[in-house]
A and B are shown apart, each in its own frame.
Chain A
Amino acid sequence: MVAAREIYWNVGHEVIVPIYLFGLFAMAVSAWGFYRRIRVYRLGRPLDRFDRISLRITLMLKNMLTQCKVLREPGPGALHALFFWGFGLLFIGSLLIMVQADFLDPLFHLRFLTGGFYKLFSLLLDIAGGVAIVVLSGLLARRFIIKPVGLQTDREDYLIHTLLFSILITGFLVEGTRMASTEIGINPGLASFSPIGLGMGRLFLALSSIRLALVHRILWWLHFFLAMGFIALIPFTKLRHIFTIPANYLFTDLGPKGAIAAIDLEDESITQFGAARVADLSWKDIFDTDACTSCMRCQDQCPAWNTDKPLSPMKVIQQIGESAFGESGTGLVGLVGVDAIWSCTTCRACQDICPADIEHVNKILEMRRNLVLMEGAFPDNAVRTAFENLEVNANPFGLAHAGRGDWAEGLKISIMAIDADVEVLYFAGCYASFDRRNREVARSFVRICNAAGVKVSILGKEEKCCGEPPRKLGNEYLYQMTASQNIELIKGYGVQRIVTTCPHCYNTLGRDYRDLGLDVPVEHYTTFIAGLLSGGRLTLEPARFDFTYHDSCYLGRYMDIIAAPRQVMEQAGGRLTEMKKSGYGSFCCGAGGGRILAEEKLGSRINAARVEMAKETGAPLLVSNCPFCLTMFEDGIKTGGYEEELKVKDLAEIVAERIRMKSEG
């Protein structure tokens, strides 16, 4: 028997006219809905996210079809991915039917939905629909029965779940009633390729053929109108993410992670610095709010949210959306709240996990820029004092700049002013230069360079703060002032290579300074040491130690340096027990976003939470790679009273303790 089906069986080919009319109408409603939203996106400032269009399209297709970002959260992510593939296959199936029935067959007498292909088609779609119903049930159970803490559910969610279920179920009912008339008992070989339809169809065998035809026609139109309703509803509900998320993948930021535009201080036409209202943000910032489905993953990862601070990255996006699409004339600061704005540590966990590619961090930075640059407002007096210290002494501590190179006294290292003919400029940074605990890291690093025969100098008292903390707190002016002075100095010495022991200096000198004219390669000491080891310039005498490792935000998520430090520790004799939140999922120490300069007065302490996680591994040693993390963990260990159970050391200290001197052969 022929393996095919008569399309438009029972409803008749004449339905083409009404279905295309209704279809076009539904799409017009949808297009109009999106058109209204596009007008709101355009309230924002211009931004070029249309360059390198073929790369963008590739990324969009990859992210959309593989659902790789959605699958970062394995449980619910798998449910959504399966639903997407299932529904997607059903959609493609419907398109193929439309192509054959409405164009190829009537115009060219071409039918491809026959034979083996049709059997495969039928089976795949039945499986797709079945899987879609199963996973949709799983998603429904998660939202309405399990109710994960913090997940917002409103009327729209009831509507969408009902709509999707009814589309899928009526689809199978239509198939079942059709098969009850045309296949079951008549073409069993074909019927077995639509197992679910077969099962459904058996329920209708008792009906007379006239009744059956009527039921089929009713269900067919019901299914059709539900689908049209779905299309029309898209821009007016969360369903818009079907278009806005792939579009967000298309408009993704192709620049280096963590980059933010440098304000052109020479441009006299700028009257507003930072974002006070929605119109001060870019169109992409407003578009981001439409890509958000309130999935809550960003909030779940946020260290501020998890320590009871009023910052939820998800709420910030929602609030910006409310301000853009609503009638409220409230400025962004009033809507989001200063406490939320200042609580961010810029750890980037939100952006990293977001399946919609939303860019949370820079929106908060733009709001901070408005607060500092336009209103002279700060999170607290400690930050104001730190800013003034940075202006006067070039470090946030308010210590004499003349003493910045004192830590190197007695060590085999010179200053650039005396000897600039070196392989490497070691940019020590404020903490390594002045903070008692962090000076040990600087000294360890020098010992490592000495042992490897790397000739290195520091800027000493000429060095100024890299400018990262003030920049992240919104003080773009102070950042550019201190940065341009550093850049002039570094260029003046003809530096060829820079290494830092601080991930914040590393990010700033290596990425941000490019916008201000510095082009010298910058490395973080972890990869630098890895290079020395693999190149044979440095050898270690491994001494066994048990440890857990903290991936700092600015090294891990920002710079993707995750494996190299672990390899170095392994070569040093380390046996690693990972914390539950490690690698890209690492939990911030609390000091980023300039917050190392601020007081933590809201909620509980982020550093205490992270120290708890380290303690849970049972390892006696916590290893870090950042002066801020080291400072926060020393403090967290002390306030928790864990000095006997847990110690913290920097990676440089561990390596320096294990140097095998060349003379020992």
Chain B
Amino acid sequence: MKILVCVKQVPDMDSRFRPNAAGVWFDEADLDWRINEYDEYAVEQALQLKEQLWEAPEVTILSIGPDRVLEVIRKALAMGCDRGVHILDPEISMKDPWQVAGIIATYAGEEGFDLVFTGMQSQDRGSAQVGVLAAEMLGIPCVTTLVGFSFDDGVITARRELEGGTRGVVRLSPPVFFTCQSGLNFPRYPTLPNILKSKKKEIRTIQVEDLPASAPLSVTTGFYPPAKKGSGIVLEGELNGLADRLMEILRGKCAAVRL
């Protein structure tokens, strides 16, 4: 069985985000990078399935971007994936979901994977489209917001997270494309023997120029923080006085408060 996991390297959400010089994305200087949280669930699920099937499946980890994404590929290898594929593309952050999905589908189409796992969305762009688009391009069914997974004799029972806490149950067989939601599993912490073993695992580099390119369907034209509308007020002083002032403000500014 061949399993593919697609992971994205995203900036840590606690970083300071400033628009870049061109004003179409954030400036990458001084950011802390990490593996996209939703993709971690994908990696973990692939590895759990591999363990269930007596280590027979081969798990390939793929990431697109400049050299720095090798770190997330290595992290996934350290968790237990077998080989890595790095699609070298320094301009990935300028590409739209259609183009990203196209790159994945081109690579995956040639390899013939039985299962593909990826995160439901990325923490930086959050479009939630790449997985679904790539599945369609590959012509295979896509199951999104995966929060439960079991594999039994070739049949997968998937649980999807729907509104209001309900779960949708889907039963199907490979090939399938999954996008993973938090709550699916608890990603393992790489053990040291696995970290050391991963240093020997193969990482294949593909130049993005060597893959057929597609034009974007959407283009980012602006990137800016929301305009400041007004700042908060901090009330200080005696407790009774504070209560009075608060009442004044609520009466004056809030239509919802009946006093």
Contacts and interface: CB of A to CB of B under 8 A. Distances in A.
A268 B189 CA distance: 21
A373 to B, nearest CB: 4
Interface string B191-217: 111011000000000000000000000
A45 B127 CA distance: 55
A273 B32 contact: no
Given A392-B12, A393-B14, A400 B193 contact: no
A373 B14 contact: no
A465 to B, nearest CB: 13
A37 to B, nearest CB: 33
B192 A273 contact: yes
A388 B192 CA distance: 15
Given A374-B191, A376-B188, A477-B195, A461 B30 contact: yes
A268 B192 CA distance: 12
Contact of B193 (A271, A393, A394): A271
B14 A375 contact: no
B12 A393 contact: yes
Nearest to B33: A392
Nearest to A398: B14
Given A393-B32, A461-B30, A477-B195, A378 B189 contact: yes
Interface string A372-416: 111110100000100110011110001111110000000000000
B34 A392 contact: yes
Given A392-B33, A402-B30, A384 B189 contact: yes
A268 B193 CA distance: 10
Interface string B22-55: 0000000011111000000000000000000000
A384 B192 CA distance: 15
B191 A265 contact: no
A374 B193 contact: yes
B32 A392 contact: yes
Contacts of A403: 16
B16 A402 contact: yes
B15 interface: yes
Nearest to A477: B192
B32 A401 contact: yes
A147 B54 CA distance: 57
B7 to A, nearest CB: 15
Contacts of B14: 393, 398-400
Contacts of A373: 191-193
Name the residue among A373, A393, A394, A400 with the largest chain B CB count within 10 angstroms: A400
A289 to B, nearest CB: 27
B198 to A, nearest CB: 12
A398 B37 CA distance: 14
Nearest to A461: B30
A400 B15 contact: yes
A394 B14 CA distance: 13
B192 A400 contact: no
Q: Give the most central of B12, B32, B188, B191: most A CB within 10 Å.
A: B32
Contacts of B190: 376
Contacts of B30: 400-402, 461
Contacts of B31: 400, 402
B166 to A, nearest CB: 27
B205 to A, nearest CB: 24
Given A392-B32, A392-B34, A400-B32, A375 B191 contact: yes
Contacts of A273: 192-193
Contact of A376 (B15, B191, B196): B191
Contacts of B191: 373-376
A539 to B, nearest CB: 39
A588 to B, nearest CB: 27
A381 to B, nearest CB: 9
Contact of B196 (A265, A391, A398, A461): A265
Interface in A534-581: none
Indicate the member of A268, A372, A392, A398 with the most B CB atoms within 10 Å. A392
Residue from the set B14, B33, B34 with the largest chain A CB neighbour count within 10 Å: B14
Given A273-B193, A373-B192, A400 B33 contact: no
A388 B196 CA distance: 18
Interface in A261-293: 265, 268, 271, 273
Contacts of A477: 192, 195
A373 B191 CA distance: 5
Interface in B154-193: 188-193
Given A375-B191, A376-B190, A402 B196 contact: no
A17 B14 CA distance: 86
A402 B12 contact: no
Contacts of A399: 14
Interface in A344-392: 372-376, 378, 384, 387-388, 391-392
A398 B12 CA distance: 9
Interface string B1-20: 00000000000101110000
Contacts of B33: 392
A393 B13 CA distance: 11
B189 A402 contact: no
Interface string A500-517: 000000000000000000
B193 A402 contact: no
A470 to B, nearest CB: 12
B210 to A, nearest CB: 31
- A-B pairs, top 5 by smallest CB distance, nearest first, are A376-B189, A373-B192, A402-B30, A392-B34, A400-B15
Interface of A: 265, 268, 271, 273, 372-376, 378, 384, 387-388, 391-394, 398-403, 461, 476-477
7 contacts: A273-B193, A373-B192, A392-B32, A399-B14, A400-B30, A401-B32, A402-B15
Given A378-B189, A400-B30, 11 more contacts: A373-B192, A392-B34, A394-B32, A400-B14, A400-B31, A401-B32, A402-B16, A402-B31, A461-B30, A476-B192, A477-B195
